Structure 1
């Protein structure tokens, strides 16, 4: 008879939960858990490490893009002049027939002059420059009083106090002006600064003084103050020079006076429009 085989160890392993339960107290003493407050701080730190870089990138993108966060439109009717005060304390006087848009940005102040003329008396700010865009002409203010007169893509910039820089699209470096100077600017062309008479400032009070100004330019200015068209029927008359002082609030009277100083005649059409032709 064969002897009985020796007893075999049990084939089912002891459950892991049972082992942990048997040694739970010893494990807690050897590897204590941090208090709940510390765990919360760690979780908060991980979140901060994840969110902070995203916030920094977003803030940097906003600063670089410099989006406008407030936009206001202003305009004047024929014969109307209007004074506006901007939130930064700057003042803008709009001539008749002028349209512009003021945009407040995070890092800059921008004005888009669509048509007409305006005087800017700017409150200086070292970190938020003031700029005027007149089509392809860009005027940067350095704490000044200046005029911008837009005539389509051509603009006349006149400086009365302080300093401005003028540049044009497709042109060279920025041109700095001194008080009492003006430039004519358009895409790819910027005239040298030239002196201007202080009397030119009188448009702000409705007094227009012309010193050998071409007739075509005089009529363009007078048109701002007349609600009916002023038409130069013969373009060859455009270069004729006009000198004199006129009342902007009486544009029709000013046109009627032109035959006294130029070889022209003024005719009134049935619709009320004024037509200038060569005198016969």
Structure 2
């Protein structure tokens, strides 16, 4: 074995063979990998040792690739070598791509799952639907909606929220509202996505109406939603509603963080009260 392989795998020197390479040493090397280059060296040893015939090694390599590969291209290439990956592994991959902001690769993983007959569960849909939203992939999103309906997951809160996000992100705000209205238990995330969807669509009256519904529900708005409402006020030039929201924040003792402060400044500036906006801004930096 070469000194490079010895260094990579942490094995004792071998007289030009791979006989010292064992599943244990491979797993140890995979677990300690910190760079893509290191993983590729381990992968090469797996291939030389014919350990690639054992799917467990490829699965371990895929997961290790997800952690250390900045672009995830290598991780995806290894994942594509795994025949019939199980749902658990696929879900981990979907979440990792989603977390790393790679909607295209997330959809590629879903395509592989579909082609190879890998089952999806309630944990698969949020990442896939988020990817469809980010990529404005309406056709794929509607297909996933159909699959979720067929499998009976459309009443799952995580799936419902994902569907709202997907339709809103693809500019189909009416379809998003249909899903929202059918929800039996709306959490703050669902409210936030729906309100932001209206705001991004320029339907500011709908933003304000939905915010009033939220205030009459048992859900308390958070800083994110308040920032969205203030943004809508600024874009609509609705100073009176913006002031009412500001009063609501004060009266209910909401914590005003930097994001909410910035939203207040932007709203007043957009509505023409530059002096007051400057006053608020000065308070932010002192």
Task: Give TM-score scaled by structure 1 length.
Answer: 0.31
When Rg is computed on C-alpha atoms for both structures, the one with the higher figure is 1
The structure showing larger relative contact order (alpha-carbon pairs under 8 Å, at least 6 residues apart) is 1
Specify which structure has the higher proportion of helix: 2
Specify which structure has the higher proportion of strand: 1
